[in-house]
């Protein structure tokens, strides 16, 4: 994720002394004149407008203000001596910063009704236009409401009941797996019939068309048509990337200004092309089957640009046990050679009547 700065806004603070709402950059209360104590948090204005004044933007970028260790007055980050008492600010404590104060409020805010006289006031008013009563700053929105600001644990909302339910589902699944696949019954079976299948795929060398990323196509391939396709997401912008950004939100810079930021990522698109190379592909398959104990491979007649693929063999035995038949399949030709008709075997049969293992008696 890349953090993109959209601009800066004024934050607000409420005087703990007289409850007056003050603009973030103000270091002294407009109502009672008290200096802003360092434990007062900056909060969002009801409606945030991006600042255009260069001097204010420079102050917002300067970093968190510091509080004088002698008189507590707030001073800019780069001040050496306190503007209130003249004390040395070398030991001054910086205001906390980087806290997400809420989603960027760029829409118009509803009017605020005066708690004293009920008059509707514009959201930006610090005191009632009618009676002069304080219109206290709004409390900060919790950062949990922001999708992009902070990862929210998804487990948090999951009730304990869900976990218990999940446990029982697991127990039931384990029981079903045991009942149908693991639990077996032992039977004695007699070989009633055998059959075998052997096949050989036939490959030919020819031009084959594939698709792939342009930079991964083999050098001897003939490249066909290409199209732009999404390949991966990265943090940094790139010329062939599409920018995808989350909801803008406001961060406390510690200077009375909020930085409006947006978390963005970049979806990179690349050339995805068809290409042709010479390759071996299956063009046919020859198969031979039988119902005796002497399996044979089918005959193969190949041209110069043809060859055999991976040979495949499969053997099936039908056992007769307790009045019914059971089928067993293997790819082992040595095991198959022992299934003399009439020979007796110990069969392990599961609940689905599938033979899971056998042993000669």
Tell which residue, 217, 283, 292, 258, has the closest CA to residue 49: 258
In the chain, the N- to C-terminal Cα span, in Å, equals 67
Close Cβ partners of 147 (under 8 Å, ≥ 6 residues apart): 246, 247
Placement of tokens 């200096």 in the chain: 35
State which residue, 112 or 200, has the beta carbon closest to Zn ion. 112
The CA distance from 135 to 146, in Å, is 26
Q: Which residues pair with 261 in a beta bridge?
A: 5, 249
Shortest Cβ 51–Zn ion spacing (Å): 24
Residue 163, judged by CB atoms within 10 A of its CB (0-12, 13-18, 19+), counts as exposed
On whether the CB atoms of residues 285 and 198 are closer than 8 A, the answer is no
Stretch of 86-94, 301-309, 341-349, 350-358 lying at the interface with Zn ion (CB under 5 A): 86-94
Identify how many contiguous H helices and E strands the chain contains and give both numbers: 3, 19
Q: How many residues bind Zn ion (CB under 5 A)?
A: 23
Selected from 7, 11, 12, 20, the binder of Zn ion by CB under 5 A is 20
Residue 124 Cβ, how far from Zn ion at the closest point, in Å? 15
Q: Is 129 in the site for Zn ion (CB under 5 A)?
A: no
Piece in contact with Zn ion (CB under 5 A), picked from 10-18, 103-111, 305-313, 345-353: 10-18
**Site mask, Zn ion, residues 24-43, x = CB under 5 A?**
-----x-xx-----------
Closest contact distance (angstroms) between CB of 159 and Zn ion is: 45
- Residue closer to Zn ion (CB basis): 137 or 221: 137
Verify binding: residue 128, Zn ion, rule CB under 5 A.
yes
Considering only 5, 113, 130, 207, the residue that binds Zn ion (CB under 5 A) is 130
The C-alpha atoms of residue 185 and residue 330 are separated, in whole angstroms, by 20
Q: Where are the alpha helices (DSSP H) in the chain?
A: 54-61, 160-177, 333-337
- Binding Zn ion (rule: CB under 5 A), the pick from 1, 18, 173, 208 is 18
| Residue 87 touches Zn ion, criterion: CB under 5 A | yes
Question: Would you state the structure tokens that stand for residue 12, as one six-digit string?
Answer: 């607000």
Residue span binding Zn ion (CB under 5 A) among the ranges 112-120, 175-183, 224-232, 284-292 = 112-120
Find where tokens 């600001």 sit.
149
- Nearest approach in angstroms of CB 68 to Zn ion is 3
Give residues 292-331 in contact with Zn ion (rule: CB under 5 A). Answer: none
C-alpha separations of 318 from 19, 321, 345 in Å: 91, 10, 11
Query: Using CB under 5 A, which residues numbered 53 to 82 contact Zn ion?
Result: 68, 70-71, 73, 82
Q: In the numeric block, which tokens belong to residue 116? A: 């004293």
Task: Count CA atoms closer than 13 A to 83's CA, side-chain side.
Answer: 13
The nearest distance, CB 134 to Zn ion, in angstroms, is 9
Q: Which is nearer to Zn ion, 17 or 351 (CB)?
A: 17
Which residue among 1, 131, 158, 171 contacts Zn ion (CB under 5 A)? 131
Query: What are the residues facing 257 on neighbouring strands?
Result: 10
Binder to Zn ion among 50, 94, 116, 182 (CB under 5 A)?
A: 116
Q: What size, in residues, is the chain?
A: 361
Residues that bind Zn ion (CB under 5 A): 15, 17-18, 20, 29, 31-32, 68, 70-71, 73, 82, 84-85, 87, 114, 116-117, 119, 128, 130-131, 133
């Amino acid at each position: 994720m890349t953090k993109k700065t959209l601009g800066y806004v004024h934050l607000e603070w409420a005087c703990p002394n007289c409850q007056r709402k003050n603009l973030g950059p103000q270091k002294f209360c407009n109502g009672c004149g008290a200096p802003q104590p360092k434990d007062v948090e900056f909060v969002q204005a009801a409606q945030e407008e991006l600042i255009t004044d260069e001097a204010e933007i420079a102050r917002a970028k300067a970093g968190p203000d510091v509080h004088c260790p002698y008189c507590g007055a707030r001073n800019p980050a780069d001040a050496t001596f306190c503007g209130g008492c003249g004390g040395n600010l070398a030991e001054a404590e910086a205001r906390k910063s980087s806290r997400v104060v809420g989603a960027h409020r760029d829409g118009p805010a509803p009017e605020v009704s005066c708690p004293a006289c009920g008059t509707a006031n514009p959201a930006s008013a610090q005191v009632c236009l009618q009676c002069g009563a304080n219109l206290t700053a709004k409390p900060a929105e919790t950062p949990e409401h922001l999708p992009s600001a902070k990862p929210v644990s998804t487990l948090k909302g999951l009730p304990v009941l869900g976990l218990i339910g999940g446990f029982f589902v697991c127990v039931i699944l384990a029981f079903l797996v045991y009942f149908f696949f693991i639990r077996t019954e032992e039977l004695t079976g007699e070989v009633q019939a055998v059959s075998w299948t052997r096949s050989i795929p036939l490959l030919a060398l020819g031009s084959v068309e594939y698709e792939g990323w342009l930079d991964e196509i083999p050098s001897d391939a003939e490249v066909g048509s290409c199209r732009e396709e999404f390949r991966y997401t990265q943090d940094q912008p790139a010329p062939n990337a599409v920018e995808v950004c989350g909801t803008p939100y406001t961060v406390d810079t510690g200077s009375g200004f909020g930085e409006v930021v947006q978390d963005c990522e970049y979806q990179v698109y690349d050339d995805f092309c068809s290409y042709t190379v010479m390759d071996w592909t299956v063009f046919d398959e020859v198969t031979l089957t039988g119902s005796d104990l002497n399996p044979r491979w089918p005959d193969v007649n190949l041209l110069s640009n043809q060859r055999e693929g991976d040979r495949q063999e499969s053997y099936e035995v039908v056992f007769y046990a307790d009045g019914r038949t059971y089928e067993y399949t293997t790819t082992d030709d040595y095991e198959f050679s022992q299934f003399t008709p009439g020979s007796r075997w110990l069969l392990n049969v599961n609940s689905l009547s599938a033979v899971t293992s056998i042993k000669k008696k």
